[in-house]
């Protein structure tokens, strides 16, 4: 993780340098080159026609009378002031429109930006300088040159400043538009949050640490504001980019937590007055402080807020939120941060609750997919206890979905648990037996209900796992599944066998995130279905169902 972050830091200056060349250097060079070329050509032509052949190009600019200086300087100050007014007016309008579209805090970001301050300062200094140069011109008393004063260098510098102001207008407007480009706004907010969160422990006061905590928290909230506004305007691109940036901020933060000042993790002072923390009791706040997970919790709270709105406004964003939540969980696993993983699991559970309450089958389906990926990563890391907890949560949501009439969700959970059990066996996980027991219990509390589809889906998943065990030579494990199913009605068992044998293609006929058919079993494993059902005497009394090439 540190290596990846170093590479990202190395890319950032290159990107900033490329933007500076694109926005400033090329336009300024082009405009200045064209202007100077035209000036030289015109003045050389005029000098060639001038009666005084000894007059050189530079003498035209270096020699001037007080009257010439007054004539030149008469309106320069007003012109520069007018340019400043135009720049401020245009920038203010653009910034206000962007603030209405993304987040009101863009205005604060804009006027704190160093480049904006430098440009505005340059215009102001140029206007003030030109006024005082104009004021210093003296033509002497009664036409006498005794007390006359012509600030030659001041006039030339003023002309240079006016020229620079005019040349800078077009590139500056380009910079303003680039500054307010959605990806750049989101990236700048994320960068600020990362910088505030990852400052190493040093000689800061408590107030300075609190200031950094609030700044990082503000970055999280600004990103959530942008995502919510994008949802209102049906702007999927900005919403997705913002959700990704929230995840990237936390992913950059997690591997470096150990190097941070211990005071950073304490929820107190202004941080404790945040809306999400004020509503929590002292015990919950103390746990967040003790486990050092307040930033992860706050970021995932922003995800949850966006998730709630996306359920109806932009369902496609649900998958992105689930994926980014998984990325946070995987980073926490790599960092060995069990407390952060626990927070991620809690929010995955909350996503499932939201989806079930809304009866949004697609949201639950996609959440379960990413949740299962996280469980597989935990198995690879050897965190079997956490996987057992997740399996229990899966069982709970399967039974809850069954009670709500959401049969497909129950079936999805069953097949995901089948995959988790397969991975547990492959990795020789100590939790393998407990995971199998939980899997076989998924349908226990729903057997009395007559909602046949979800129960059949669970049984199909269990048969699929049994064929996996048989393929691995683990007949004892397959027998556990048999004993759980031996009291099923013979007609149901025969129909389940027939339906599994009929699925011979793993390519689903519709677009979905998984891109596979739950009931599909590889040809070498499909033959083991017959062997498994031979253990049920009632199913062997009739002719076996012939396989057909169909898609499920």
Question: Does 432 score more than 80 pLDDT?
Answer: yes
Distances, alpha carbon 423 to alpha carbons 69, 284, 416, 418, 462, in Å: 86, 35, 11, 9, 15
Confidence of residue 54 (pLDDT cuts 50, 70, 90): low
23 in any annotated domain? yes
Task: Identify the CA nearest to 367 among candidates 319, 325, 330.
Answer: 319
Least confident range of 125-139, 364-378, 418-432 = 125-139
6 in any annotated domain? yes
- What is the pLDDT averaged over residues 18-43? 79
Question: Does 205 score more than 90 pLDDT?
Answer: no
Beta-ladder partners of 148? 139
Helix (H) or strand (E) holding 437: helix 432-441
18 in any annotated domain? yes
pLDDT of residue 400: 93
Instruction: Provide the residue range defining the domain that includes 6.
Output: 1-46
3-state helix, strand, coil split of the chain in percent (to 5) is 75, 0, 20
326 in any annotated domain? no
* Model confidence, pTM: 0.81
Calculate helix-pair angle for 452-471, 432-441, nearest 10 degrees: 150
pLDDT of residue 60: 60
538 in any annotated domain? no
Residue ranges of the alpha helices (H) in 63-203?
66-73, 76-101, 106-112, 114-135, 152-179, 182-197
Tens digits of residue pLDDT in 138-197: 776 555 555 677 777 788 888 888 888 888 888 898 888 888 888 888 988 898 889 888
Choose between 141 and 28: higher pLDDT: 28
Question: Does 449 score more than 50 pLDDT?
Answer: no
Confidence of residue 539 (pLDDT cuts 50, 70, 90): low
Beta-ladder partners of 550? 503
Question: Does 397 score more than 70 pLDDT?
Answer: yes
7 in any annotated domain? yes
- What is the pLDDT averaged over residues 260-288? 89
9 in any annotated domain? yes
Confidence of residue 456 (pLDDT cuts 50, 70, 90): confident
The structure tokens 């890391």 sit at 381
Confidence of residue 106 (pLDDT cuts 50, 70, 90): confident
- What is the pLDDT averaged over residues 193-209? 84
8 A C-beta contact, residue 301 and residue 277: no
Tens digits of residue pLDDT in 78-89: 788 888 888 888
CA 321/CA 250 separation, integer angstroms = 13
pLDDT exceeding 90 applies to what percent of the chain?
41
Question: Does 380 score more than 80 pLDDT?
Answer: yes
pLDDT of residue 55: 57
pLDDT of residue 352: 97
Question: Does 404 score more than 50 pLDDT?
Answer: yes
pLDDT of residue 1: 40
- What is the pLDDT averaged over residues 330-338? 96
What's the structural domain count of the chain?
1
Which pair of tokens denotes residue 485? 């199913």
pLDDT exceeding 70 applies to what percent of the chain?
85
pLDDT of residue 514: 76
Question: Does 202 score more than 50 pLDDT?
Answer: yes
pLDDT of residue 152: 75
pLDDT of residue 144: 54
41 in any annotated domain? yes
Confidence of residue 452 (pLDDT cuts 50, 70, 90): low
């Amino acid at each position: 993780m540190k290596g990846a972050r170093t590479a990202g830091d190395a890319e950032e200056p290159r990107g900033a340098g490329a933007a500076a060349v694109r926005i400033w250097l090329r336009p300024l060079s082009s405009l200045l080159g064209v202007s100077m070329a035209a000036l030289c050509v015109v003045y050389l032509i005029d000098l060639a026609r001038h009666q005084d052949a000894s007059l050189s190009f530079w003498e035209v600019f270096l020699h001037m009378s007080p009257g010439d200086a007054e004539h030149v300087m008469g309106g320069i100050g007003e012109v520069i002031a007018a340019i400043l007014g135009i720049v401020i007016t245009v920038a203010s309008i653009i910034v206000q429109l962007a603030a209405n579209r993304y987040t009101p805090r863009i205005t604060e970001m804009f006027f704190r930006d160093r480049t904006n301050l430098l440009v505005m300062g340059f215009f102001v200094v140029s206007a003030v300088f030109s006024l005082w140069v104009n004021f210093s011109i003296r033509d002497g008393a009664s036409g006498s040159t005794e007390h006359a004063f012509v600030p030659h260098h001041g006039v030339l510098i003023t002309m240079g400043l006016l020229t620079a102001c005019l040349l800078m207008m077009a590139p500056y407007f380009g910079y303003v538009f680039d500054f307010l480009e959605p990806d750049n706004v989101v990236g700048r907010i994320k960068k600020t949050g990362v910088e505030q969160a990852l400052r190493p422990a040093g000689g800061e006061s408590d107030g300075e640490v609190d200031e950094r905590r609030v700044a990082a928290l503000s970055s999280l909230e600004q990103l959530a504001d942008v995502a919510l506004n994008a949802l209102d305007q049906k702007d999927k691109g900005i919403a997705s980019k913002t959700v990704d940036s929230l995840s990237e901020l936390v992913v950059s933060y997690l591997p470096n937590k150990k190097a941070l000042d211990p005071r950073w993790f304490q929820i107190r002072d202004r941080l404790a007055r945040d809306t999400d923390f004020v509503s929590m009791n002292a015990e919950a706040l103390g746990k967040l402080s003790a486990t050092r997970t307040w930033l992860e919790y706050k970021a995932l709270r922003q995800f949850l807020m966006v998730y709630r709105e996306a359920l109806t406004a932009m369902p496609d964003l649900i998958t992105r939120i689930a994926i980014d939540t998984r990325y946070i969980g995987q980073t926490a696993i790599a960092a060995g941060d069990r407390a952060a993983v626990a927070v991620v699991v809690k929010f995955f559970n909350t996503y499932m609750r939201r989806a079930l309450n809304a009866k949004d089958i697609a949201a639950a389906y996609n959440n379960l997919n990413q949740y299962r990926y996280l469980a597989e990563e935990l198995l690879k890391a050897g965190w079997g206890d956490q996987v057992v907890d997740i399996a229990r949560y899966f069982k709970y949501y399967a039974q809850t979905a069954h009670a709500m009439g959401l049969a497909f969700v129950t079936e999805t959970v069953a097949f995901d648990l089948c995959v988790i059990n397969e991975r547990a066996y492959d990795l020789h996980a100590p939790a393998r037996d407990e995971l199998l027991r939980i899997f076989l219990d998924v349908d226990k509390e729903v057997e009395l209900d007559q909602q046949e589809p979800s129960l059949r889906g669970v049984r199909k998943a269990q048969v699929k796992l049994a064929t996996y065990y048989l393929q691995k030579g683990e007949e004892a494990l397959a027998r556990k599944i048999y004993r759980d199913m031996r009291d099923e009605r013979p007609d149901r068992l025969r129909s389940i066998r027939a339906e599994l044998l009929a699925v011979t293609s793993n390519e689903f006929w519709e677009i979905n995130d998984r891109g596979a058919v739950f009931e599909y079993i590889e040809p070498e494993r499909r033959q083991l279905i017959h062997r498994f059902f031979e253990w049920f005497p009632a199913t062997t009394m009739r002719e076996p169902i012939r396989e057909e090439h169909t898609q499920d």
